[in-house]
């Protein structure tokens, strides 16, 4: 049995994230410098002094969360000696997992993520897209309510997060109609999400097309441990370009519950959420209450991470 690492995606950001690691550890500062140089932005200033509005802008959010997550991983690795059995990341967190595993460099990933965020934002004009979390319906029922609302526009399952939480994504009118249908179908809750674009649905295909040349030009390294992909819920296949799955991920659902269960099947008995927030730790409790869990994003978290890492 071993340790699985979980890397967060959007909605985990907060003002000041990563600041304590940056101040305490040279390894964290090195990650911030490399990512900032590659992305062409001062990520330390954004993360530590940026407003909530600035941090919610997708082209800022993605490289910012990534940088904090990788900085946290570098410190966790140095301070605990943890040797992961496997890793996965939620949406943009998959890039963090790939860097931790050695398949991508910090600079390449930071540069690509800034473009990814911009292209995803520009694929659908602000106000025309939406996302919502449905709680209390089966995947089959969620797909049914999406079909029922399809006359209003695109609406599709976007994140199978765990337990009975499934996020839908698409045009604003269709998402609203699907929420109404979900309530009629017995959903416990149907909550609009404060996002700036409808991620992980077919409306994002133009973003994938724009990102493809940049992502395919990135050099790839050798995996030190397996990374389970969002779209397949299987480890990245040896020798296959990582760009293939990362491009599919932009417009496809995140199969998060299946990813965690796959990691459990690979032998992960405990998990460490590496990066800002505790969203994934909460989802883990929905998926498998028997799995050990800790989160790491500040020096004070080291003791708990060491306990889980053994």
Specify the 3-state DSSP secondary structure of 1.
coil
- H runs (alpha helix) in 50-186: 52-56, 58-80, 93-101, 106-123, 139-149, 172-184
**Residue 287, beta-bridge partner list:** none
Q: How far apart are CA 310 and CA 307, in angstroms?
A: 5
Residues in contact with 114: Cβ distance below 8 Å, sequence separation at least 6, in sequence order? 39, 40, 41, 59, 62, 63
Establish whether 90 is a catalytic residue. Answer: no
> CA 96 to CA 102: how far, in whole Å?
10
Q: Cα torsion for 149, 152, 158, 161, to the nearest 10°?
A: -40
Question: Residue 178 CB: number of other CB atoms within 10 A?
Answer: 32
Cβ–Cβ under 8 Å, residues 203 and 129: yes
Cα 123 to Cα 32, 126, 198, 231, 248: the distances in Å are: 28, 9, 9, 20, 15
Residue 91 appears among annotated catalytic residues: yes
Q: Which of 91, 96, 115, 171 is catalytic?
A: 91
Point out the catalytic residue in the list 36, 115, 141, 200: 200
Which are the catalytic amino acids?
Answer: 91, 200
């Amino acid at each position: 049995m071993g340790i699985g690492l979980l890397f967060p995606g959007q909605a985990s950001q907060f003002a000041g994230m990563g600041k304590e690691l940056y101040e305490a550890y040279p390894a964290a500062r090195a990650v911030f410098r490399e990512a900032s140089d590659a992305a062409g932005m001062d990520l330390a200033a954004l993360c530590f002094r940026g407003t909530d509005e600035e941090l919610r802008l997708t082209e800022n959010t993605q490289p910012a969360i990534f940088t904090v997550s990788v900085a946290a991983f570098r410190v966790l690795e140095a301070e605990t000696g943890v040797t992961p059995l496997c890793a996965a990341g939620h949406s943009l967190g998959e890039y963090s997992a790939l860097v931790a595993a050695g398949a991508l460099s910090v600079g390449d990933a930071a540069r690509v993520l800034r473009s990814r965020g911009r292209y995803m934002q520009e694929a659908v004009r602000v106000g025309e897209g939406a996302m919502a979390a449905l709680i209390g319906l089966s995947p089959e029922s969620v797909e049914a309510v999406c079909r029922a609302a399809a006359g209003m526009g695109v609406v599709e399952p976007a994140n199978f997060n765990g337990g009975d939480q499934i996020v839908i994504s698409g045009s604003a009118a269709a998402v609203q109609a699907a929420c109404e249908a979900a309530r009629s179908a017995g959903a416990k809750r149907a909550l609009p999400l404060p996002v700036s674009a409808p991620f992980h649905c077919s409306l994002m295909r133009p973003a994938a097309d724009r990102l493809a040349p940049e992502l395919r030009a990135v050099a790839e390294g050798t995996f030190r441990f397996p990374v389970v992909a969002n779209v397949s819920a299987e480890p990245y296949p040896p020798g296959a370009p990582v760009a293939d799955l990362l491009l599919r991920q932009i417009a496809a659902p995140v199969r998060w519950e299946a990813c965690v269960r796959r990691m459990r099947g690979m032998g992960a008995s405990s998990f460490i959420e590496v990066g800002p927030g505790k969203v994934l730790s909460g989802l883990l409790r929905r998926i498998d209450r028997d799995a050990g869990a800790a989160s790491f994003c500040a020096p004070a978290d080291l003791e708990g991470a060491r306990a889980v890492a053994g």
